[in-house]
Amino acid sequence: MNFFRRWHAHHEFHHHFGHGHHGRGFGRHADGYAQHLLARVGAKLDLDDEQQRRLGVWFEQLQRQREALKSVARGPELASLIAGEQFPRESAQQMLDARLDALRAAGPGLVASFADFFDSLDAEQRQVLRFVMRRFGRGRRDDA
């Protein structure tokens, strides 16, 4: 893999977020962290422009679904549910079912966009991705 691209992604991250603060994609730096994450994965896998574009499409869809889920807990709908003396279980269930239906509807698009990205990788890139995913699954985030 290209050493300079890896160093540059690391340098850009620390320049933007400061040393020792990794953001984790939450809070006011979420967009910057998402771009950093895409750059890091792109550098780690040594992606060409088309592969990077495909990864970006999948990641963007994933972020939209993540935001939709987060909106359940912070939206005005939840505030209206807890405003009364008793919790309206049926209304809450209907709201949750609607969000889950939206997630289910987005599922095939998420799968297709990740499949397009994965299928565009060569054998070496797939092996690196598997290695990175194993490390990520163990909770190690020091060198994603």
Q: Which of 13-17, 18-22, 29-33, 114-118 has the highest mean pLDDT?
A: 114-118
Q: What is the CA radius of gyration of the chain?
A: 19
Q: What is the mean pLDDT of residues 43-67?
A: 91
CA pair distance 104, 109, nearest whole angstrom: 10
Number of domains in the chain: 1
Helix or strand (DSSP H, E) at 25: none
* pTM of the predicted model as reported, rounded to 2 decimal places: 0.63
Is residue 132 within 8 A of residue 142, CB to CB? The reply is no
Domain membership of residue 142 (yes or no) is no
Structure tokens at 17: 């977020």
Structure tokens at 23: 């953001």
Domain membership of residue 65 (yes or no) is yes
Domain membership of residue 144 (yes or no) is no
Domain membership of residue 109 (yes or no) is yes
Q: Which domain holds residue 101?
A: 3-137
Sole residue written with tokens 């565009």: 120
- How many Cβ atoms are within 10 Å of 86's Cβ, its own excluded? 5
Q: What is the mean pLDDT of residues 34-48?
A: 88
Question: How does residue 4 score in pLDDT terms, banded at 50, 70 and 90?
Answer: low
